[in-house]
Structures are given as C-alpha cells and as structure tokens.
C-alpha cells in the first residue's frame, strides 16, 4: 500500500527516482558505517543521473532522506500482500519479518538524518506503526483462515515482539541470530492442531 498524493510519474522519471533512492540507501549506509559523507552530487553520480534530475525529485537532502524512509516503509507494507499471495500464511508472516529486519537496518543507517528531520519539526514516522500493524494483521487473518496461525494474538503484540528482536540483533552481522529468534516467535504463533502436532513449516 502506497500512501500520499504524489502524482504518477512518467516511466523514465519513475525509473530515475528509484535509481536515486537506491543510490541514497547505499550512500547513507556507507556514511553510517564509517565511510565518506553522503553527498547529493555523489548520490546522483552513483545513480547515473545528473544533479539537476536529483533536484527535480528531491529539492534538498532532507527531502531525499524522508523519501528513502517512506519508500522503504512502502516496500515493507506492500510485501505483506505479495507474500500472502505466494506462501501459506505462517510462512508469509515469517518471510515478512525478514523484510522487517531489512527495513530496520536501513532505518538505523538513516538514524542521524531522520533525527535531524524530527528536530526540524517534520514527522516522517506519521502512521508508520499503524501501517505495519495493518500488514501484520492481514497476514494473521490469512493464517487464521487457513489454520496455520493462532487467533488469540494481537497484531500489535506481534509487531512489538518483532521490533524487540530487531532492536537487539538487527545488523548484517546479527542476521543469523535474528532469524533464529524470529523462527521461535513464529513458532509460538502457529496454531496447534492437537497434542504435539503443528503445521509443517
């Protein structure tokens, strides 16, 4: 689900925008891990477009940072529908949690820039929690319908549990441990069909 009233872009403009967002993620990630400062010129060059093209999409660094964050959030929330259509609901929920880890890692790399936005009175996080809870709930409802997930767990609690795991170990080096902990979380959310019986993973 994509929110906002941004007008539809021509195919070439939309492609350039996506290239710029991807380049920005790489630049901000490098900056946050000890690399060179992320510059708009450098981001445009990495994306293979001119600086004028960058400014047509993002008039300043703050606008670019906010767009990167919102784009990652859009991808995360949209993934719920895609995964639900491709996998049994319990496996779709587990796969969505992997996407959530990626989202949290990207958000950590943007942390300083996002805090600067908040300090300036902007709120890039408006409705973020509600949208993520909605994504989790849609997966849970599918799991209740197909018998793979319990019906007595609140989606907000699932999101808090997933967030807690990510806050503790979400980093490129901690992905394996995060995966094991998320496996345990989803295992606790699966419906039990009888003593010692549970749906296949």
Same domain, yes or no: 41 and 67: no
Domain stop point among 59, 74, 99: 59
Same domain, yes or no: 97 and 27: no
Same domain, yes or no: 122 and 183: yes
Assess if residue 200 is contained within a domain: no
Q: Is the pLDDT score of 90 beyond 60?
A: yes
pLDDT score of 117: 82
Compute the mean pLDDT over every residue in the chain, rounded to the nearest whole number: 88
Summarize pLDDT for 18-70 with one digit per residue, the tens: 999 999 999 998 988 888 999 999 999 999 999 999 999 999 999 999 999 99
Same domain, yes or no: 161 and 140: yes
pLDDT score of 3: 46
Assess if residue 195 is contained within a domain: no
Q: What is the DSSP letter of 8?
A: P
Please compute the mean of the pLDDT values over residues 98-102 and round it to a whole number: 92
Same domain, yes or no: 88 and 74: yes
* pLDDT-derived band at 8, boundaries 50, 70, 90: low
pLDDT score of 201: 40
Assess if residue 85 is contained within a domain: yes
Assess if residue 197 is contained within a domain: no
Q: Is the pLDDT score of 5 beyond 60?
A: no
Domain total for the chain? 2
Assess if residue 5 is contained within a domain: no
Q: What is the CATH number for 119?
A: 1.10.357.10
Same domain, yes or no: 71 and 55: no
Please compute the mean of the pLDDT values over residues 102-125 and round it to a whole number: 84
Q: Per the confidence metrics, is the pTM higher than 0.85?
A: no
Same domain, yes or no: 99 and 83: yes
DSSP code string of 122-182: --TTTTHHHHHHHHHHHHHHHHHHHTSB-SSS-HHHHHHHHHHHHHHH-SGGGHHHHHHHH
Question: Domain span at residue 51?
Answer: 10-59
Higher pLDDT, 174 or 144: 144
Assess if residue 198 is contained within a domain: no
Q: What is the CATH number for 50?
A: 1.10.10
* pLDDT-derived band at 193, boundaries 50, 70, 90: low
Q: Is the pLDDT score of 170 beyond 70?
A: no
Higher pLDDT, 122 or 186: 186
DSSP code string of 34-45: T-PPP-HHHHHH
Assess if residue 196 is contained within a domain: no
Same domain, yes or no: 82 and 137: yes
């Amino acid at each position: 689900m994509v929110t906002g009233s941004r007008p539809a872009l021509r195919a070439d403009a939309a492609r350039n925008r996506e290239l710029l967002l991807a380049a920005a993620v790489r630049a901000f990630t490098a900056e946050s891990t000890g690399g060179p400062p992320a510059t708009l010129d450098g981001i445009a060059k990495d994306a293979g477009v001119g600086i004028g093209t960058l400014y047509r999409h993002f008039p300043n660094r703050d606008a670019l940072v906010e767009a990167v964050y919102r784009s990652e959030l859009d991808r995360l929330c949209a993934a719920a529908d895609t995964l639900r259509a491709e996998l049994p609901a319990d496996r779709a929920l587990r796969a969505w949690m992997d996407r959530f880890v990626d989202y949290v890692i990207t958000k950590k790399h943007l942390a300083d820039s996002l805090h600067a936005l908040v300090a300036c009175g902007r709120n890039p996080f408006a409705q973020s929690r509600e949208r993520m809870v909605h994504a989790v709930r849609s997966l849970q409802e599918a799991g209740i319908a197909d018998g793979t997930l319990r019906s007595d767990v609140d989606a907000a609690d699932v999101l808090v549990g997933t967030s807690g795991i990510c806050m503790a170990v979400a980093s490129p080096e901690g992905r394996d441990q995060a995966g094991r902990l998320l496996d345990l979380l989803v295992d606790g959310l699966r419906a039990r069909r009888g003593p010692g019986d549970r749906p296949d993973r």
